[in-house]
Amino acid sequence: MKKLVLLLLALLIFPLVNAQIAVQSFDTSPAQVSPGDQLRLRVTLENVGDDDIKDVLVKLDLSQVPFAPMGSSSEKIIDEINEDDEETVYFDLVALQDASSQIYKIPIEISYNDTKKISLISIEVSAEAKLDVILEESEVVKINDNGIVTLKFINNGLTQIKFLKVTLQQSPAYEIMSPSSLYVGEVDVDDFETEEFVIIPKVKNPQLVLNLEYRDSNNNEFKENRYVDLSVYTLEEAKQLGLIQTSFTGVWVILAILIIVGIIVYRKVRKKKNVS
């Protein structure tokens, strides 16, 4: 009786042992994709059992990831995989425009002979970080003015910018009156942040030198310098351009003094003529 039970168990297990399909390898072309890009996924399956297997269904589960089939289905059928042999299927996909930069795990379902198994493959989305810096507003008009300079930091890329730190470098062209380093933090895609520095320009049209340090969504580190031009004039140029109001108080005082002195001199001269 015991031998009979063992024989029955062996008969039940034997087909499962002899019929096994596994994902041997996979890759994408290109290896990394940006949001909106097309890619080709290659999946190679291996028959590691002892029997030939027919009608193998390979299906990608794209329901929870930002990918969609491109010109083909997310399912492929392999007519037959011989024992100790390999077969390769290809899927043409597109990364959706709103895909964030990260590695996505995609379930791949393999069905054959009333057997179903799920494996995981991965695709990396990597968007280039793009941070622009522009002059938003400046109170500084002429040389030796003490004023606020407002800068705008714009995320024009397709990945979130994190841990942004901005440092205004020292320069003979200006004196920094505020903290030279500011922590901005996150700048979302298609968004911006503004920060202020207080400076005193020492020359005409100085150029602000900024050091930027930040990371993208994949935690890649970036360090770069940016330059922002300021329009700064001499006192005479600022007056001519109407950027500052000319004070006439001193002129009126001088004119008043001249008039008074003129009246006194005139009276003295007239008095002398009358006496003589």
Per-residue confidence band for 15, with pLDDT thresholds at 50, 70 and 90: very low
**Cα angle 9, 11, 16; round to 5:** 95
Q: Looking at the structure, tell me whether residues 7 and 28 fall in a common domain.
A: yes
The predicted structure's pLDDT at residue 273: 62
Which residue segment(s) compose the domain that 176 sits in? 131-240
Say what the pLDDT of residue 72 is.
Answer: 83
113 with 146, same domain: the answer is: no
What mean pLDDT comes out for the span 39-56? Answer: 92
CA 196 to each of CA 69, 173, 178, 229: distance values in angstroms, whole numbers, following the listed order: 47, 18, 9, 15
Q: Is 161 within a domain? A: yes
The 8 Å CB, 24+ separation contacts for 172-179 are 172/202, 172/203, 173/201, 173/202, 173/203, 173/206, 173/207, 174/199, 174/200, 174/201, 174/202, 174/203, 174/206, 174/208, 175/199, 175/200, 175/202, 177/146
Pair 38, 144 in one domain: no
Q: Is 55 found in the same domain as 82? A: yes
Which pLDDT score is estimated for 28? 94
Please say if the pLDDT value at position 131 is more than 90: yes
For residues 196 and 25, what is the distance between their CA atoms, to the nearest angstrom? Answer: 53
Question: How much is the pLDDT for 49?
Answer: 83
The reply to whether 260 falls in a domain is no
Pick the more confident residue, 166 or 243: 166
Residue 8 sits in the same domain as residue 119? yes
Of 125, 141, 166, which residue is a domain's last? Answer: 125
- The lowest-confidence range among 8-17, 18-27, 246-255, 257-266 is 8-17
Mean pLDDT of the chain: 86
User: What's the pLDDT score for residue 13?
Assistant: 44
Q: What is the CATH number of the domain that holds 168?
A: 2.60.40.10
216 and 186 both lie in a single domain? yes
> What domain count does the chain have?
2
**Domain endpoint, select from 125, 155, 173:** 125
- Give the residue from 105, 96, 42, 35 showing the smallest Cα distance to 70: 96
- pLDDT band per the 50, 70, 90 thresholds, residue 16: very low
Q: Are residues 107 and 182 in the same domain?
A: no
Mean pLDDT over 193-216 rounds to 96
pTM for this predicted structure: 0.63
Q: Are residues 6 and 114 in the same domain?
A: yes
Which tens digit of pLDDT belongs to each residue from 142-195?
Answer: 999 999 999 999 999 888 899 999 999 999 999 999 999 999 999 998 899 999
- Across the range 214-227, mean pLDDT stands at 92
Residue 7 has pLDDT above 50, yes or no: no
Together in a domain, 88 and 199: no
Q: Which of 16-25, 89-98, 111-120, 199-208 has the lowest mean pLDDT?
A: 16-25
Question: Alpha-carbon dihedral of residues 267, 270, 272, 274, nearest 10 degrees?
Answer: -130
Highest mean pLDDT pick, 112-126, 240-254, 255-269: 112-126
- Whether 90 and 197 share a structural domain: no
Q: What is the mean pLDDT of residues 107-124?
A: 93
pLDDT of residue 11: 41
Q: Is it the case that residue 248 has pLDDT exceeding 70?
A: no
Q: 86, 109, 125: which is the final residue of a domain? A: 125
